[in-house]
Structures are given as structure tokens and as C-alpha cells.
Structure 1
Amino acid sequence: MTSLKDRLQRGKDARQQCPRSSQAGPGDIDRDPLPLIEASSKGRVKSLVQLRYGRMLVSPFTFYRGSALLQAHDLAGTQNMGLSLPICGDCHLMNFGGFATPERNLLFSVNDFDEAHPGPWEWDLKRLVASFLIAARDLRHGKGVEESVCLDVVRSYQKTMARCAEEGALDVWYDAITYQDLLEQAEAKSTFEHVEKAIDKAQRRTHAQLLPKITERDRQGRLLIRDDLPEIFHLHKNTSLLDASDDWMKLNNWHPLYNTFMKDYRMTLQADRREVLSRFKVQDMAFKVVGVGSVGTRCLVALLTDDQQKPLFLQFKEARRSVLAAYVGSKSKVRHQGRRVVEGQRLMQSASDLFLGWTTGPTGRHFYVRQLRDMKVSAELENFDATTFNAYARICGRALARTHAKASGLAGPISGYIGKSDALSEALLKYAQAYADHNERDFERFQKACRQGRLQARSEADFAADHLP
């Protein structure tokens, strides 16, 4: 059994090989972004790749959100202290938010684990800090806020990790950030109002509230998911955006796909949750486009109802190889990509979705499963003033530190490495400034490639116009 002093010293010793000032380097950025962007699009639904590029074209910030592979490549050329632990892998500020526990409590934490993989903790923190600076530029908050949010993220991470280093394993494991905590800690009226609004919104984001928004009844009275191109469409109707040659189009309808999913999925749930699921019957299934970076990967939503016609929406989301896999020395012990995502989420979150599990599609693709929308809320950055934006930076830094500490049990060495000074926060501010500049140059090259036709980009309006009556 090592003492806290020994664990902290292990981190301090790592500074000899990796000085905190060295973390300022932007990494392996002497490369062309276009081949990496094209590589990240392989295996996606071809027509939806155009939509992905259209969403990335909106701003340098949306480009950053959709290009996790680029930063993973670049981070491989940066210094780190030598620890490998479970990390999020795509830790930008929009991948944090509120979600419901199985007990219907509202928590705040990292909420996207598609790229979860063993790797250096610094990679998550660097992606998060850079995302705050890029978002601050996008929102035109000014250089003062750009700098302060970056420093606030790292200082909050530093402070929380130091606290975790002194806590027992179960204290770290059970700790959670509730929205009541956020209300009590809000230092400004504007921040308090944003938290209150998020709580109210989360309470309204239930399956019952979603039902009338995305469903309708056909002439026979059957409850069906409503097509809403390009966001939602059925696989085997004239509104489908899948290619005619797609292997899923060889199926007569969605039922074989659903039945294959459910066969494996049920066994990844606890027995009591399988029992609850057995009380629902499927009514319909459709393709749903989500996010920025995920656009073009396969995601389906199934509508199920119980005997009282109360709904349950399950989301089946494709899990591909993590963008980190090619760039970190450590390998994931889990071969099923859906299981990798689920186990990463269960390990890193304080509590996870009641129906979180994994499965395999009829042609071998890997998926993970969760409830759609259930009390999930994200930050509305465009409505944040500078005070609220800084408060959000601090809560994200706190949440990430808790995530890393819970998943690894290595809070002591990490805290020892960071220390009590601003050495790391100042280094990561320099990193974020350099990487934000580089992201803008990548964005310009991406824009040019779209203008010249090397990459095809289309907006939501373009897709909708194609299917006007």
C-alpha cells in the first residue's frame, strides 16, 4: 500500500521526463488534413457524408467538433507524463451535459463515449481546453474570455484532481455532480437562470413528451415514426437516403434488422432490466442522423410501447474503431466496439442509462444501445454571457477530473504531476491558442476542398428540397 505522499511523488517525478511547460506544443501538425478527413468518412453512408461535411462547414467550431481524428493524429506528437487510463477520446465542450440516472436524478458529466479508449489523460484535457478557446472565438467573446475560460478549465481540473487524490476509492466512485449542486454554486444570476432552464428542459425531455413530436398514426391507426429528412427516414421507403446497393436495402423491411439487434442486446442487460424491456413491443424503426462527427455512421431509433401505450425510444448507434486506436501505444482489451463504448461509459460516468448495452447487426457491424433523449440536455452556448461561459468551463473541468479519477484510480500521480502552481494551466493555454490557429488553417483548406469539388458538402435544406412534393 503506497501513501498519498508516494503517489504524489510519482507524479512529480514524471516532470523530469515530461516538463509541464512541454505540454504547450501543438503536436504533429505538419500534415494535410484532407486525407485524414476522407479516411474518417470511409464506411459511412455515402449520401450522409455530404451532410457531415455540410455541418462541418458552418464554422471552425463545428469543423473542430467533426474532426476528432485530426486532433488524435496531432496529439500523438505531444508530450505526456506516461500514464495510460480510460479516457473519453472526444472531449470537446459539447460532449458534456445533463442526463438521467436510473433513479431519475439529473446529473452532469461527460456524456459521449464513442471514442472511449485507453490513452493519456492529457489528450482529453487538451481537446477540452482547445474547444473552449475555439468556441469563445466563434461566439466573439474576446481575448480576455478566451484566456480565462482555458485557465478556468485547467484550474478546476487541477483542484478537483487534488481533492480526489485525498479521497477514498468509494468516495471517488460514488461522487456525482447534480444540478442542485450547480444551482447552489451559481455565483451570478445569469448562471443560476441557465441552470434552472436546463433543469426545466430536462424534465420535459421524456419519451412521453417526444412521442407526439416525431410520431404519427397511419390510416390503420398504427403508431409510426414520422419521416423528417434528412434527420429521420425509414430504410425501405422512397425517402430513404441509403444507397440502393447498401446491404441493409437487401432486407425486405426493418423487422429482420431489429430482431437481430435484440437477440444479442438483451443479454448485455441486467436481469431486472431485461424484465422491464420485455413489457414493451416494437412498433416502428427508422434511421436517425445525429451530431456532427457521427453523421454518416448508422444510427436507428426504435419505437416501443407497453400495454398502456406508453412509449420507449431505443437508439441503436454504430460503434466504429476509436479514433485514438491508431495513435496510442495501449490497446483496448475489448474487441467488440459497442462493448468498448458501453464499458467506457459505465466506468467513467457516475451512473449510466438504464438500457445501456451493445449488439451486432446482421452484417457484422457493431452497435451500442441506449434510450433516446431521456432527460438529456446540452449547453446552449449561444445564450451564455461571459460569466456563465466561465462557470461552464469550471464545471467541465471538474467533471472531467472526476471522470478520470473514477476510471483510473490514479488521481494521486496525476495531481502530483500538475502540482499547485499554474505551470500546466499556462502551458495548456498556449497549446489551445496554437491549436485554435491551426484548426482555422485546417478549416480554410477544408472550405477550399469543398468549393473545388474534391469534397461534396450539402446542407439540411439541400436534402429537404430534394424530397419536396
Structure 2
Amino acid sequence: MANVVRVVDHRLDAAGDHVRVARLQPGESAERGREARRAAPRSAHGEWSPPPDRRDPIEILREQAQGRVPDLVPIRYGRMVLSPFTFYRGAAAVMAADLAPTPTTGIVVQACGDAHISNFGGFAAPDRRMVFGPNDFDETLPGPWEWDVKRMAASVEIAAREVGLSAKRRRRLVTASARAYREGMRGFAGESHLDVWYDRLTASELVDRFGGHLGPSGRIVFSDTFAKARRKTSLRAVAKLTEEVGGRLQFRNVPPLLVPLRAHDIPAQHADEADYIRELLDEYTESLDEDRKYLFGTYRFVDMARKVVGVGSVGTRAAIFLLVGRDGRDPLVLQAKEAQASVLERHIGASPLANHGERVVRGQRISHAASDIFLSWQRSLGLDGREHDFYVRQLWDWKASLDLSTMREPGLLAFVRACGWSLARAHARSGDRLAIAAYLGPGPGFDRAIAAFAAAYADQNELDHERLVEAVAAGEVPAEAGI
């Protein structure tokens, strides 16, 4: 069935061809959602089989690696090859290509773009309460809400396979995540605009709302995880990532994962290290609102390093900055992470924003009721002497991620339900929630279809992972394991 993403704009690409560009649209209409069932029946979401002309996933990954730091790309492959789930985490571009021809309702939201369940977790709100939701927006773009739901659901199936659950139990988990999305969206459809924008899920509410089947041990798992996250601050980053030399703090040199600026060549455009740093920080400062600019001005720069992050993000440029406040104490550790074109853009049109860092930041702010007070974007010189887009935030600010491999089934059930509800809340802020709710309906038809899709796509993901294993073994792609 052909893709029916609503076309609200056309644009010529670099080759002069017309491409569709998805746009957020104001307005709400339950009738629009019911009409969408004719173009994209809910049962159609359960269908998945690879088309005869499906691209080789290795070709897609190689293409994506072209703009990355060459010496870090083997680390990315080394992490992806570990298991089908780690492969899936790094294969957002592969799945975007697979979803492009699938049916959609044409209802556009601010899509996360990479909504697998390891990209959900806790983080600090400015009022110092821990909230839960999607926490990675590198691929965000206005796009079909169904793509996020399918990426989330397939990740539930793949993670459940990884911990050895039976097909029946896996289906229960996937169905629960889809049902939480559906019921959440129908709940948001009855709320006012302001209520939806104010709504958020705190860490304590997660267990109360979704952990009805958890025993004391399950509740302890969540509470312990969130308690540990509250200790993940700049102070913790300093203790783990720095050392004192000659009475001065500096980042450790642990190549290739952490490499201080002093071990790199400064871009030729700058006279020295101080000149380079000054320009980077000035560009960042100019992007902040006046109150945050004042706060940032109370800190002074100490050191900078390149840091490898994530699985799918490995190879993109990422730097961390150490700053200190009064008396050389009161540290602040910021991360500048490169933002490249979203994996969705090839299929639904380029972002209207010229800076991909701005795309990430604005997408996150649209989707979240709370964000890091230092979150902003910039365009600046990388260590290769070329300009790149970045977004900046605190390195660690209560960031909580759950180890899915150690969770028992009741804990996984609570977690995936929270993911489904949180994704619905993010979509309800930016999309036509009345239309989506009307499309989904009160019954379980959509949930069953998504569960069928997740199982079929997990099979495909296993084949793709095996393709990477074979490519690494044959020397077709370089991989560094254990890093």
C-alpha cells in the first residue's frame, strides 16, 4: 500500500526533483481521523514484508557514516554487532527506509524519529523533579505518528526476545505498549490545550500509574534507578572524567572514548587553543536567553575533550566542556553533540530549519513539558576545521536509563506502558490529537496490528543483524569490539 503522508508543501531537492515535505498543522477534527481509516485501515499497520527492491542495510549504514569521524565508525559497528537489539538501536536509518512505503493516516506530529525504548528514561526538569519520557531527539522532524509507534513497538519485541520471553509474553508486552499509546491519546483528546502542554509523568508517578502488577522488588528496581540518577550531576562527571594535575582539573586522556583538546590539533583558522575555545563559547553564549546567559557567565572555562557517546550516535562529533563557578568549585559539565540531517528527511523532506542543532532543540521543546536550562544550539568549527551544527546541554543532569536486560516481566510491562503513554503525550502536544484518537478508536484492533508488525519486523531485524555479523567477519565493514 502506498504511503499517504499528507503533503502540505513541495520543494525541489538538490537534483531538481519534487519531494514531499511534512508540516505540523493546527486544528483538531475527530472526523479527519475517522476518514483516515479509509486511506489507511488500522489492520494495514500489521503488515510487513521486505519489498523486492529493499536496500541492503549495510549500504544504508555506510551512507550514513560518510559524514562521521572516520576513526570512530568502527566503534559504532562494534557496538551494533553485539546483538539484534544493539543493531536496532543504531539502525534508525534502516527502519526509516522500511517505513517510508507503509500506510499512514497523513496526520503529522513532531516525531521523535528514533523512539526505541532505550531512548526513554528519566531526566531533571528545571524545578528539580525527575520526569519520564523520550530523551533522544537527534532524528526529530515533523512526520507520521505511526512511524514512532512502530519503532517503539518493534523495540519492545526485540528487547523481550533478548531476555528470553516466549512469543505469547512478548506479544502481551507489545500490545500493552500500543494500548497505553492508544488510551493515552484518547485521554489527551479530552483535555484542553493547556492541560496537555502542562502534563508530564514524574518518576514517582510512573510506578503508581503503571506498576499495578509490581511487587516490592519491582518497585525497588525503579526507585533505585531513579535514586542513582539523581546522583548523576556535574559533580559526578568531574569525579569520573577528570583528574588533578599541578593543582588544576583536566579531563582524563582515555582514547578513543575520551580525548582532551590538548591531544588534538587546533583548527588552522585559530592562532591557539584559547582563541578557539573563546569562539566556541561566544557562539554558544549568544544562543542563550538573557537569564541563562547571565547564569552561564558566572562560570569560567577549564577544559574540553572529545567524547564518544551512544550506539547510533557513535562517529558524530561530540565534545564536553568543564567549567567552574566560585573559588574554582561548583562545576558545570556541558556536552555539545553534533546534529546531522534526520534519518527521516530523505523520505518526508528536509527540515525547514537551516541548523540541525536548532531542529533538535525545537523538536524537543515542542515534545516536552520540561527541558535542560542550558539546552541550546550553535554552528561552529569542529576539530576538523569545518563548520558543523551542534546542540548543547548538560552532560549529566539526573539522566536515568533502565537496564532492560535485568528487568523481570512485570517491570518491563510497567516500563513499556509508561513509554507508550509518554509517546502519546509528546504527539498530543504537536499533532491533531482528536484525529489520532478517533482513528485509533476504543477497541484493540490497532494494538493487535502493531503487535503483528513488531513480530514481523523483529524477524527482519534479526536478518539485518546477521547481515552485519557476516559483513564484519568478511572484512566488508571495519568493527572494533569491546569499546
Match of 1:158 in 2: 182
CA distance in 2, matches of 1:108, 1:254: 39
Instruction: Judge conservation of contact 2:156–2:416 (CA < 8 Å) in 1.
Output: yes
Match of 2:343 in 1: 323
Secondary structure of the residue that 1:62 maps to in structure 2? helix
Secondary structure of the residue that 2:316 maps to in structure 1? coil
Instruction: Judge conservation of contact 2:283–2:380 (CA < 8 Å) in 1.
Output: no
CA distance in 2, matches of 1:399, 1:212: 33
Shift of 1:318: 0.3
Quick check: 1:71 aligned with 2:91? no
Match of 2:463 in 1: 441
Match of 2:173 in 1: 149
Match of 1:378 in 2: 401
Match of 1:465 in 2: none
Q: Which runs of 5+ in 1 are unaligned?
A: 1-5, 462-469
Quick check: 1:342 aligned with 2:361? yes
Quick check: 1:419 aligned with 2:438? no
- Aligned ranges 1:246-285 → 2 under 5 Å: 248=267, 254-285=273-304
CA distance in 2, matches of 1:248, 1:234: 15
Quick check: 1:405 aligned with 2:428? yes
Q: Which runs of 5+ in 2 are unaligned?
A: 1-27
Shift of 1:332: 2.3
RMSD of aligned alpha carbons: 1.7
Q: 1:436 to 1:275 in 2, by over 3 A?
A: same
Secondary structure of the residue that 2:346 maps to in structure 1? coil
Instruction: Judge conservation of contact 1:235–1:249 (CA < 8 Å) in 2.
Output: no
CA distance in 2, matches of 1:65, 1:327: 20
Match of 1:36 in 2: 60
CA distance in 2, matches of 1:440, 1:40: 20
Instruction: Judge conservation of contact 2:46–2:450 (CA < 8 Å) in 1.
Output: yes
Q: Give me the identity figure in percent.
A: 39
Secondary structure of the residue that 1:204 maps to in structure 2? coil
Q: 1:257 to 1:401 in 2, by over 3 A?
A: farther
Match of 2:380 in 1: 361
CA distance in 1, matches of 2:178, 2:168: 16
Quick check: 1:139 aligned with 2:163? yes
Match of 1:396 in 2: 419
Quick check: 1:222 aligned with 2:248? yes
Match of 1:194 in 2: 221
CA distance in 1, matches of 2:137, 2:430: 13
| CA displacement 1:329-381 (0-9 Å, x = unmatched) | x5422111000000001110110001000011122210000000111011111
Match of 2:19 in 1: none
Shift of 1:183: 3.5
Q: 1:253 to 1:453 in 2, by over 3 A?
A: farther
Q: Which amino acid aligns with 2:140?
A: A
Match of 2:9 in 1: none
**Equivalences, count:** 446
Shift of 1:252: 6.8
Q: TM-score scaled to structure 2, two decimals?
A: 0.89
Instruction: Judge conservation of contact 2:261–2:303 (CA < 8 Å) in 1.
Output: no
Q: Which amino acid aligns with 1:326?
A: R
Of residues 78, 82, 96, the one that matches 1:54 is 78
Q: 1:301 to 1:430 in 2, by over 3 A?
A: same
Match of 1:233 in 2: 259
Instruction: Judge conservation of contact 1:262–1:359 (CA < 8 Å) in 2.
Output: no
Match of 1:104 in 2: 128
Match of 1:458 in 2: 480
CA distance in 1, matches of 2:440, 2:343: 26
| CA displacement 1:278-305 (0-9 Å, x = unmatched) | 0000100000100000001000000000
Secondary structure of the residue that 1:359 maps to in structure 2? strand
| CA displacement 1:185-219 (0-9 Å, x = unmatched) | 3321233112211221122111112211111111x
Secondary structure of the residue that 1:148 maps to in structure 2? helix
Shift of 1:226: 1.0
Secondary structure of the residue that 2:315 maps to in structure 1? coil
Q: 1:21 to 1:173 in 2, by over 3 A?
A: same
Q: Which amino acid aligns with 1:448?
A: E
Quick check: 1:130 aligned with 2:157? no
CA distance in 1, matches of 2:282, 2:261: 20
CA distance in 2, matches of 1:449, 1:103: 48
CA distance in 2, matches of 1:380, 1:250: 44
Q: 1:452 to 1:251 in 2, by over 3 A?
A: farther
Q: 1:287 to 1:254 in 2, by over 3 A?
A: farther
Quick check: 1:213 aligned with 2:240? yes
CA distance in 2, matches of 1:249, 1:184: 56
Q: 1:255 to 1:442 in 2, by over 3 A?
A: farther
Instruction: Judge conservation of contact 2:162–2:405 (CA < 8 Å) in 1.
Output: no
Shift of 1:236: 4.2
Match of 1:387 in 2: 410
Match of 2:204 in 1: 180
Q: 1:81 to 1:26 in 2, by over 3 A?
A: same
Q: 1:459 to 1:253 in 2, by over 3 A?
A: farther
Instruction: Judge conservation of contact 1:86–1:404 (CA < 8 Å) in 2.
Output: yes
Shift of 1:161: 0.2
Q: TM-score scaled to structure 1, two decimals?
A: 0.92
Range with bigger deviation, 307-316 or 176-185: 176-185
CA distance in 1, matches of 2:207, 2:449: 31
CA distance in 2, matches of 1:257, 1:91: 36
Match of 2:39 in 1: 17
Match of 1:310 in 2: 330
